[in-house]
Amino acid sequence: MIFMSKFPFKTQKTAQKVSDNKSTSILLQAWYIRQVMAWVYTYTTIWLKVLDKIKNIVRDEMNNYWAFETLMPSLAPRELWEITNRWDNVDVLFHIPAANNKEYALNPTHEEVVTPLMWEFIKSYKDLPMCAYQIQSKFRNEKRAKSWLLRWREFIMKDAYSFHADNKEFENYYEWMKQVYSNVYNRLWLWNDTYIVKADWWTFTDKYSHEFQVKLDIWEDVIFYDKISKEAFNKEIAPCIIPTPNIKDNELKERQDIEAIWVIWVEALSKKLWVPAEKSTKTMMFDADWKFIVASVRWDYDINTLKLQKIIWCKNLKFASPEQVKEKTWSEIGYAWLYNLPENIELYIDDSIIWLTNFETWTNKTWYHSINVNFDRDVKEPAKYYDFKEAKLWDRNPETQEIYEVFKASEVGNIFPLETKFSSAFNLTFLDENNKSKTPLMWCYWIWVSRLMWVCAEYFLDENWIAWPEQIAPFTNYIVIIWEENIEKWIEISNSLWLDKNEIIIDDRQNVWFWQKMNDAELLWIPNIIIISPKTLEKGWYEMKKRWEKESNFINL
């Protein structure tokens, strides 16, 4: 029970514009949060109540499906992270220098802690499946803490780790976890706009690797959704084909090599050469694990390096240096294409170029373009076209030919496989039914708890308020006392309403206008506003206004 007369974190009369983001402005105005440094916040009492309610929903659902809550430490010795070879290879890992020349990791995730914890416990196939989780602050040494919900340095996460005897056993378990996620987002009233999105995690298998994304206009992930197949893909990995197929020209024109000094951008180029973007091409050179490769897409697309990397199946894919380009193509960087290219270089051509005729390309000669280039005649038609273009609006799903629905979304959770990466590193084994030693498979389940709070704030944003659903509203009942004399008596009456005392704000402030109290109740979005006044009390009533209803009710005491 909070008495407003004593409550320090009072609402402000005007919202602070800190971003284009209205929900944050309201959170600041209503004193839910205060920033300590970029994207690191103090939660005041009100925000903490929302956090606790969301945590309890997550906890409740996890517990229902045989996941067991634990609390692992934030500090871990450097040695644990060296066992998995991640001390130097996870760039967001904070390294903490400590007394006696020790170093600790400030864990951004807890595979290095949970896996050795299981040594004692996972001994037989009978001990599997098994899942431990925690809800806890995580830390990431982000180069640039990004706006909103991405790339925070400190945030609260639910991270769960499961262990399995084999894939089949896991598949059953996966269904449970998917149920947990759907239950959680359902209870938060987000489920109708939550998409299970295929995503790419590290370089592990992508089966059973999913993001849970809430459709929200202002957030940064872009989702490609196929209404027919109900499949959703993160832009980062969305397979795609161009909206309408390239049409072959009837006549193959004569190739021309044209000098175009300082004309680099496609708009200027197409103006000069009279070639539309759809008939131009774009080529990049890459260093793929020290192998030199060339990749081309239609000018109006970008190369998605993640998709390309998967095709080449290489560990490190980076742009070739100007020196490498010059060495291989004898031209400055930016003039490469398959035409005129030395024969020993591997070519990857995106299917956006399929059937293209009379097209434009750079020509491996500084300042020179070629137009009216054609396959077979000028360049050998490739044996295979690939899909490594970055998907765009109006692109289609290659499987169903359906045009994607494209929208922004915010990731609120994910599930991804760890395979045996960590169980192998820590020598975690169990005996199977035949008494043979095996390494358990691991899976990982994250729910971005603190991000969920911000997503809810934005998702439930009304014209003027954050219209929290009752199950996560900071408090359920706001009791307005409008006649201040004999305040003890009114408080006594409030107590007699038999409400959960953790769910009550009593606005007992003296010398504060009735409408100011009502405004605060509305700004904080407390679902039930109870008004105790001498007038109605005479009749033995109190007034109850539910935020979702227009009219008040008068209820017998």
**Residues contributing to the site for a copy of itself (CB under 8 A):** 1-3, 6-10, 34, 36-37, 40-45, 47-48, 51, 63, 66, 68-77, 80, 94-100, 104, 106, 113, 117, 120-121, 127, 130, 132, 137, 139, 141-144, 153-154
**What are the residue ranges of helices labelled H in 404-447?**
421-425
In the bound state with a copy of itself, the residue whose beta carbon lies nearer, of 36 and 557, is 36
Q: Which two tokens stand for residue 102?
A: 């020790």
SS (H, E, C) 242-283: CCCCCCCCCCCCCCEEEECCCCCCHHHHHHHHCCCHHHCEEE
Rounded to the nearest whole angstrom, what is the least distance from the CB of residue 426 to a copy of itself in the complex? Answer: 13
In the bound state with a copy of itself, the residue whose beta carbon lies nearer, of 67 and 242, is 67
Rounded to the nearest whole angstrom, what is the least distance from the CB of residue 149 to a copy of itself in the complex? Answer: 16
Query: Helix (H, G, I), strand (E, B), or coil: what is residue 421?
Result: helix
In the bound state with a copy of itself, the residue whose beta carbon lies nearer, of 75 and 557, is 75
Please, what sign has the CA dihedral across residues 35, 37, 40, 45?
A: negative
Rounded to the nearest whole angstrom, what is the least distance from the CB of residue 219 to a copy of itself in the complex? Answer: 22
In the bound state with a copy of itself, the residue whose beta carbon lies nearer, of 47 and 233, is 47
Give the C-alpha distances (Å, rounded to integers) separating 515 from 229, 465, 481, 520.
52, 16, 12, 9
Rounded to the nearest whole angstrom, what is the least distance from the CB of residue 424 to a copy of itself in the complex? Answer: 20
Beta carbons of 70 and 133 less than 8 angstroms apart: yes
Please, what sign has the CA dihedral across residues 13, 456, 94, 79?
A: positive
Rounded to the nearest whole angstrom, what is the least distance from the CB of residue 127 to a copy of itself in the complex? Answer: 7
* CA separation for the pair 538, 542 (Å, rounded): 10
In the bound state with a copy of itself, the residue whose beta carbon lies nearer, of 84 and 536, is 84
Interacting residues of 42 by C-beta distance below 8 A, sequence separation 6+ = 33, 34, 35, 36
In the bound state with a copy of itself, the residue whose beta carbon lies nearer, of 10 and 248, is 10
Rounded to the nearest whole angstrom, what is the least distance from the CB of residue 221 to a copy of itself in the complex? Answer: 22
In the bound state with a copy of itself, the residue whose beta carbon lies nearer, of 110 and 328, is 110
Element (H, E) at 446: strand 441-447
In the bound state with a copy of itself, the residue whose beta carbon lies nearer, of 44 and 340, is 44
* CA separation for the pair 280, 296 (Å, rounded): 11
- From 424, 404, 6, 444, select the one nearest 242 (Cα to Cα): 404
Rounded to the nearest whole angstrom, what is the least distance from the CB of residue 154 to a copy of itself in the complex? Answer: 5
Rounded to the nearest whole angstrom, what is the least distance from the CB of residue 12 to a copy of itself in the complex? Answer: 8
